[in-house]
Amino acid sequence: MRTKFIFTSNTDLRAQIWAWRRSGETTAFVPTMGALHPGHLSLIAKAKRHASKVVASIYVNETQFAKGEDLNTYPRNHEQDCKMLKQAGCDLVYLPKSMYGDHHSTTINVGGPALGLETAHRPHFFAGVALIVTKLFNCVQPDMAIFGEKDYQQLLTIRRMVSDLDMPIQILGAPIVRELDGLAMSSRNQYLDETGRMIAGQLNLILGACAKNIMDGTDIKTASQNAQHDIIKAGFDSVDYVAVADTKSLELLSKKRKGRPARLLIAAHCKGIRLIDNCALN
């Protein structure tokens, strides 16, 4: 019998997941907000390498958008997304119509790696992500879940939450997938017009040059200031941060120390579109 591919009901989803579990299958989960691109498909590919069944979800999560952000205009093409997931070898898509009941009143307060960086500019964001990811984990009950390193702070926040709340789920990171000019792939890149897209392609080059300067011995403050200057010179509207942080805790570092793995993280606005990128400093 052919297994159904798209599930909209949590009850049916659980029945399928438990049927798989009873026959010894393992499940890897890839949560998404749709508008899929090759970056998402690389997460599916990684999931397939680690588990016998791959589940993806598509849900544009209202609690991670602040008022005035792009919740209503966020690109939605679920039919096309489901086709792409099927072709990539995903076994099941969870496509809930809504995830929050009328009386929903529970929140999750995240700390540790969630503090600073993105939170300084989008204070609502990680609480919304933590809430939806927890709810999706409860629905899918996967053995593992895959998150892209483009949203590096999100990856660490989820990892910390899962550990703090004793969720029996392994969290795997997957490398950033880039366009030919190095721009990190993101569903929001499609908002960029032609000029914006050309400017955006510079961000990865500036990130790489800044990383090299730090590795060659330039102090973090000077290298970050130079990178901020270069970002504005390249045509960006503004810079939210250029920062170096500990790879695991995301504690901000003012000095690069030998033997302490670090990450360089950048957020900047290009023609009204907010872009983030990061790389390892090693």
Q: Is residue 151 a contact residue for ligand PAF (CB under 6 A)?
A: yes
Q: How far is the CB of 137 from ligand PAF (least distance, A)?
A: 11
Kindly give the interhelix angle for 125-140 and 152-164, rounded to the nearest 10 degrees.
Answer: 60
Nearer residue to ligand PAF within complex by CB, 154 or 202: 154
Q: Is residue 42 a contact residue for ligand PAF (CB under 6 A)?
A: no
Instruction: Find, among 41, 46, 72, 58, the residue nearest to 132 by Cα.
Output: 58
Nearer residue to ligand PAF within complex by CB, 48 or 135: 135
If DSSP codes are grouped into helix, strand and coil, which group holds residue 255?
Answer: coil
Binds ligand PAF (CB under 6 A): choice among 13, 17, 33, 41: 33
Residue 116's φ and ψ, nearest 5 degrees, are 75, -170
Identify which range of 109-117, 127-135, 201-209, 233-241 contacts ligand PAF by CB under 6 A: 127-135
Size of site (CB under 6 A) for ligand PAF: 10
Task: Provide the token pair at 23.
Answer: 């026959």
Tokens 């790696």 identify what position? 113
Cα–Cα distance for residue pair 232/277, rounded to 1 Å = 16
Q: State the alpha helices, DSSP H only, in 141-185.
A: 152-164
Q: Is residue 81 a contact residue for ligand PAF (CB under 6 A)?
A: no
Nearer residue to ligand PAF within complex by CB, 31 or 201: 31
Q: Annotated catalytic, 40?
A: yes
Cα–Cα distance for residue pair 167/239, rounded to 1 Å = 36
Could you tell me if 221 and 254 are in contact, meaning their C-beta atoms sit under 8 angstroms apart?
Answer: yes
Identify which range of 17-25, 27-35, 99-107, 173-181 contacts ligand PAF by CB under 6 A: 27-35
Taken in order 181, 185, 190, 192, is the CA torsion positive or negative? negative
Binds ligand PAF (CB under 6 A): choice among 16, 27, 42, 61: 61
Nearer residue to ligand PAF within complex by CB, 28 or 129: 129
Q: How far is the CB of 220 from ligand PAF (least distance, A)?
A: 27
Catalytically annotated residue among 40, 78, 121, 229: 40
If DSSP codes are grouped into helix, strand and coil, which group holds residue 61?
Answer: coil
Q: How far is the CB of 230 from ligand PAF (least distance, A)?
A: 27
Q: Is residue 17 a contact residue for ligand PAF (CB under 6 A)?
A: no
Residues 6+ apart with CB under 8 A from 232: 238, 239
Q: Which amino acids are annotated catalytic?
A: 40
Interface residues with ligand PAF (CB under 6 A) are 31-33, 61, 64, 129, 132-133, 151, 154
